[in-house]
């Protein structure tokens, strides 16, 4: 791959929620894995050197990683745009300051039966309150409404009332805990795996997409990202399925291709 434009950086598997469909199978017992802060700084630098324009910090819940603010600062200094994909259940005051920096965006997921999906009572109220805080601070925000079987109309009405204008809708992917709600298979992918994007996990594994977690291209604890991509076998195209959401930016929203 010589045209890297975007990278998902899955910095933790820990999350306050245990969503029924979570593709990463995150939860309260998750951790930061084998990747140290130094490893992530190296990856961020290499992503920028390879010509990417944007990184997205994901998890788990990326705001639970103690070094998230430092990762954002390092990314901005390297010339990268940043998106943090958070559940917005809790944002520490210092992180609000980080998120208001130019070049930083927020993204979150939202559901019609929010608390039932997240399996945490009160998460809907917390996420809604922090959506409002983000908008009040003029932080660019996009929201992905995931239809987990109860429809999406209520969520769309609520988001419109809150003033959220950048909204996408996606279906559950049969990856991780999502396999309990849908049948697994390559049709769960958008068909453009590895086309200008990579994902790096808490173990250092490199995937062509956060949803293609069985397609490890290599591990950046064994070699630099450039060598992983150089040595990786081409990813065979698959029949295009739903568009891809955690990426953020254009239209693969979990559903958007990276913006140039």
* Residue extents of the structural domains in the chain: 6-231
Digit-coded pLDDT (tens) for 11-58: 999 999 887 767 667 788 888 999 999 999 999 999 999 999 999 999
pLDDT band at 169 (very low <50, low <70, confident <90, very high): confident
Indicate the pLDDT class of residue 173, thresholds 50, 70 and 90: low
Rounded mean pLDDT, 176-180 = 53
Provide the whole-model pTM. Answer: 0.84
Q: What pLDDT score does 172 carry?
A: 63
CA distance 167 to 53: 22
Domain 6-231 is classified in which CATH homologous superfamily? Aldolase class I (3.20.20.70)
- pLDDT for 93-103, tens place per residue? 999 999 999 99
Residue 195 has pLDDT above 80, yes or no: no
């Amino acid at each position: 791959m010589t045209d890297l434009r975007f990278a998902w950086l899955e910095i933790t598997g820990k999350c306050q929620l245990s969503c029924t469909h979570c593709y990463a199978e995150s939860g309260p017992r998750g951790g930061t894995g084998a990747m140290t802060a130094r490893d992530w700084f190296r990856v961020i630098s290499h992503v920028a050197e390879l010509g990417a324009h944007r990184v997205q910090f994901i998890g788990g819940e990326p705001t639970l990683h103690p070094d998230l603010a430092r990762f954002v600062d390092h990314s901005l200094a390297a010339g990268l745009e940043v998106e943090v994909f958070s559940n917005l259940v809790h944002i520490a005051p210092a992180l609000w300051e980080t998120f208001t920096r130019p070049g930083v965006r927020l993204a979150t997921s939202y559901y019609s039966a929010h608390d039932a999906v997240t399996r945490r009572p009160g998460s809907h109220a917390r996420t809604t309150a922090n959506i409002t805080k983000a908008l009040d601070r003029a932080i660019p925000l996009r929201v992905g409404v995931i239809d987990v079987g109860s429809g999406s109309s209520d969520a769309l009405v609520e988001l419109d009332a809150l003033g959220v204008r950048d909204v996408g809708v996606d279906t559950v992917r049969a990856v991780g805990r999502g396999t309990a709600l849908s049948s697994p298979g390559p049709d769960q992918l958008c068909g453009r795996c590895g086309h200008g994007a990579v994902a790096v996990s808490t173990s250092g594994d490199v995937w062509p997409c956060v949803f293609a977690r069985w397609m490890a291209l290599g591990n950046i604890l064994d070699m630099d990202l450039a060598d992983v991509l150089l040595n990786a076998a081409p990813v065979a195209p698959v029949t295009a399925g739903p568009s891809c959401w955690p990426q953020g930016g254009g239209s693969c929203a979990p559903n958007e291709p990276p913006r140039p």
